[in-house]
């Protein structure tokens, strides 16, 4: 499923000011929705925010659903006059399936992370 996140984002995922919500929406739109519950989505959104804001990988696990993952924030760079960075996500499903994806996130003028318009 590599690239499914980017496809979902570029395919019209709405941005509501929460980059993690957009990422989670992209993954869910990519076919992982049936494997994610509300707790999984919340943990994933928190992981994205934490990894990008604290410069370290964030690992999460939901012992009730068996879904777990990690989000890595990569190198900083300038893009379109904004401070940006690439991020990688790995989602491990209880059936053994693994989903990998990459996204560029940039800080808006208020310092909030949002998915870059161009990947």
pLDDT at position 45 is 78
pLDDT at position 10 is 31
Domain residue spans in the chain? 4-115
pLDDT at position 60 is 92
pLDDT at position 38 is 81
State phi, psi for 51 to the nearest 5 degrees: -60, -45
pLDDT at position 29 is 47
Q: Where are the beta strands (DSSP E) in the chain?
A: 58-61, 68-79, 82-92, 98-107, 113-115
Residue 95 Cα to chain centre, angstroms:
21
Q: Count other C-beta atoms under 10 Å from residue 5's C-beta.
A: 30
pLDDT at position 18 is 47
pLDDT at position 8 is 38
Residues of the chain with pLDDT under 50: 1-18, 25, 28-30
pTM for this model (two decimals): 0.70
Angle 19-27/38-54 helices, nearest 10 degrees?
A: 130
């Amino acid at each position: 499923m590599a690239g499914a996140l980017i496809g979902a984002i570029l395919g019209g995922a709405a941005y509501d000011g929460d980059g993690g919500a957009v990422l989670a929406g992209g993954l869910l739109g990519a076919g992982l929705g049936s494997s994610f519950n509300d707790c999984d989505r919340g943990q994933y959104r928190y992981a994205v925010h934490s990894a990008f804001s604290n410069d370290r990988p964030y690992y999460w696990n939901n012992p009730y659903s068996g879904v777990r993952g990690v989000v890595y924030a990569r190198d900083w760079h300038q893009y379109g006059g904004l401070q940006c960075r690439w991020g990688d996500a790995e989602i491990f499903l209880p059936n053994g399936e693994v989903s990998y994806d990459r996204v560029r996130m940039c800080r808006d003028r208020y310092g909030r992370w949002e998915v870059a318009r161009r990947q």
